[in-house]
Every structure is written in structure tokens, then in C-alpha cells.
Structure 1
Amino acid sequence: MADQKKKWSDSVIRNARSVSGGIYEAMTAKMQIDRLIRVPFREDITTGHYAVIAGQTYKILQVQTIADCRPKSMDISMQKIRQRGR
């Protein structure tokens, strides 16, 4: 397939929690961030993937590993995918 997009469902990120810090870097890069979550670390979640949370699809724009957190975690900055006609 030419256009394979990975989506992460609610079950994949069920341990996610919203976080408010760490958004400064994304703001200085002039990215629109609609949601920022902290999840347990996973090597297979990267930028360009998609996440579905509570029925809403988001594009993952930035993934940051949190070095001083146990268990190892990462912050994921996402942009809401707006559907046509909504």
C-alpha cells in the first residue's frame, strides 16, 4: 500500500493522561497543538502516526521522551484532524 497510516486507538493509549507542560517547544516551532498527553514509553509511536482518543482523530506532531520519569514515559503533542462537513 502506498499510503499506510498507523493509528493508535484508545486501547493503545489507555494509560495516557493530559499534561500541560512541555508545549513551549512546539509553540516556538509554530505548530498548532490541540492535545498533549503523557503515555508509557513505546518505541513504535512516532511523528506522523495518528491517534484516536474518544472518537477524535489526531495527528502526532511531536514525541518527547521524559528522562526523569519512572516508569519511562513520553509526551505526545497532537493536532486534531478536522473532518469535512463538521
Structure 2
Amino acid sequence: MLVEVIMFAGVILGYFWQPKKLSKIIGKLQLICTALLIFSMGVSLGSRDDFFSDLSQLGLESLIFAVIPGIFSVIAVFVLTKKFMKNGKEA
């Protein structure tokens, strides 16, 4: 619940107040946080004793979790583009 509250607070803050000077800094901060998240996930996986024996199962699950959202994202963009844009311009 705390994660959702923090995220919602960020959405509200970004909607009402976002100076252009901070936009570049926020982008870099997002990149750094994403890299730290991926690194910490790697450390967590690498510290598991049974990591290499479970690697094939983890790989399959990772593939599924990557492909399914990717497919639905492409479908959503296609449908929304057809609905809201005409000839490359906003409707």
C-alpha cells in the first residue's frame, strides 16, 4: 500500500508542478534507480544456492513475463493509435 501511495503522490506532484529544469535530472535519477534495481535483483538471484539448477525454470518464467506484456503493449498502441490518430496527427 505504501508503494502505491508514494507513486500516487509522485503522479499528483508531476501533474501540478514539474519545472523544466528538473526534467533532465528526473530522467537521470530514473535511469540510476532502474540500474540499481536491476543490480539488486541480480545480487538477490546470484545469492541463491539453487540458482543454477533453477535457471531453466527462471528463464522460461522471465521469457513469459517479458513476451506477454510486450505483445499486449503493441496491441494497445496499435488500437489506441487507430482510435485517436488520423494520418499521423492527433484526432
Structure (1/2) with the larger strand percentage? 1
Question: Which one has more relative contact order, counting CA pairs under 8 Å at least 6 apart?
Answer: 1
Structure (1/2) with the larger helix percentage? 2
Q: Assess same fold via TM > 0.5.
A: no
Instruction: Compare CA radii of gyration and give the structure with the larger one.
Output: 2
TM-score when normalising by structure 1: 0.19
TM-score when normalising by structure 2: 0.19
